[in-house]
Amino acid sequence: MTERFTGNFTQQEPIPQEGIDAALAVLQHGRLHRYNTAPGELSETALLEQEVAALTGATYALAVASGGYALGCALRAVGVKPGDRVLTNAFTLAPVPGAIASVGAVPVFVGVTEGLVIDLDDLEAKADQADVLMLSHMRGHICDMDGLMAICDAHGVRVIEDCAHTMGASWNGVPSGRHGVIGCYSTQTYKHVNSGEGGFLVTDDEEIAARAVILSGSYMLYERHLAAPAREVFERVKYDTPNVSGRMDNLRAAILRPQLRALDRQVKRWNDRYRMVEAGLRGTPGLTVIERDARETPVGSSIQFLLLDWAPSRVQAVLERCAARGVELKWFGGAEPTGFTSRYDSWRYAPSEPLPASDRILAGLLDMRLPLTFSLEDCALIARIIRTEVGAVFQGAA
Residue 397's pLDDT is 62
pLDDT single digits (tens) 356-365: 999 999 999 9
pLDDT single digits (tens) 303-354: 999 999 999 999 999 999 999 999 999 998 887 888 888 888 888 888 888 9
300: phi then psi, degrees, rounded to nearest 5? -85, 60
Residue 140 is classified by DSSP as G
pLDDT single digits (tens) 64-84: 999 999 999 999 999 999 999
Architecture of domain 263-397: Alpha-Beta Complex (3.90)
Predicted confidence (pLDDT) at residue 302 exceeds the cutoff of 90? yes
Residue 149's pLDDT is 98
| Packing angle, helices 44-56 and 250-261, rounded to 10 | 30
Q: For residue 229, what are the contacts with CB-CB under 8 A and spacing of at least 6?
A: 60, 206, 207, 209, 210
Query: Which of the four CATH numbers 3.40.640.10, 3.40.109.10, 3.40.50.720, 1.20.58.2030 does domain 17-261 have?
Result: 3.40.640.10
Residue 253's pLDDT is 98
Entry pTM = 0.96
Compute the average pLDDT of residues 170-195: 98
Q: Which amino acid is at 264?
A: D
Spans of all domains in the chain = 17-261, 263-397
pLDDT single digits (tens) 219-244: 999 999 999 999 999 999 999 999 99
Average pLDDT, the chain: 96
